[in-house]
């Protein structure tokens, strides 16, 4: 876990520029209490392991990642709460057949900001829930709207997943 004001973890240079939470087996990572994690790529539940659910919690902390892959082949739950922030260039949830991924964004000031999002496929299970003031913004021109997934005018949301919350689409 990475916790506490002033605490940082940066994996954007050197040989290892990726953080894998649950490559094989059960794993959990919490980023909390104003801590900041910056990485080139983060994967949560890379592989399928029967009966295993990997977790990432961002609770009043910040995750910066060029690419965030949630439940590529496995099962994962990501929660952003209490003013937590995820900034990512691209977010993928439940990309492969048989995978199951969920993203819950809850609480005022809790936001996920991304340039693009793929929400599952016809053969996976992907869910986004936004509530209690949480928000997901897709694209630099998408203003934060509480309790909504907001897709900017020049940006896209694709996939076959479920959104529990409001969807605001500025033109695609």
Q: What is the pLDDT of residues 62-104, one digit of tens each?
A: 999 999 999 999 999 999 999 999 999 999 999 999 999 999 9
Residue 172's pLDDT is 61
Residue 154's pLDDT is 86
Residue 14's pLDDT is 84
| Residue 105 exposed, middle or buried by CB count within 10 Å (0-12, 13-18, 19+) | buried
Element (H, E) at 91: strand 85-93
Low-confidence ranges of the chain (pLDDT < 70): 172
| Residue 46 exposed, middle or buried by CB count within 10 Å (0-12, 13-18, 19+) | buried
pTM: 0.96
| Residue 34 exposed, middle or buried by CB count within 10 Å (0-12, 13-18, 19+) | middle
């Amino acid at each position: 876990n990475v916790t506490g004001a002033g605490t940082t973890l940066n994996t954007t240079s050197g040989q290892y520029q990726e953080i894998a939470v649950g490559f094989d087996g059960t794993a959990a990572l919490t980023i909390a209490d104003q801590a900041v994690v910056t990485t080139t790529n983060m994967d949560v539940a890379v592989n399928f392991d029967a009966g295993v659910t990997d977790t990432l919690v961002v609770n009043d902390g910040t995750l910066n990642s060029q690419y965030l892959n949630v439940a590529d082949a496995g099962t994962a739950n990501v929660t952003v709460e209490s003013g937590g922030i995820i900034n990512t260039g691209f977010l993928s949830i439940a990309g492969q057949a048989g995978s199951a991924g969920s993203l819950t964004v809850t609480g005022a000031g809790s936001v996920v900001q991304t340039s693009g999002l793929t929400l599952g496929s016809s053969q996976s299970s992907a869910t986004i829930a936004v509530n209690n003031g949480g928000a997901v913004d897709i694209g630099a021109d998408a203003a934060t709207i509480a309790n909504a997934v907001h897709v900017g005018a020049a940006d896209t949301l694709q996939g076959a997943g479920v959104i529990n919350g409001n969807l605001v689409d500025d033109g695609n």
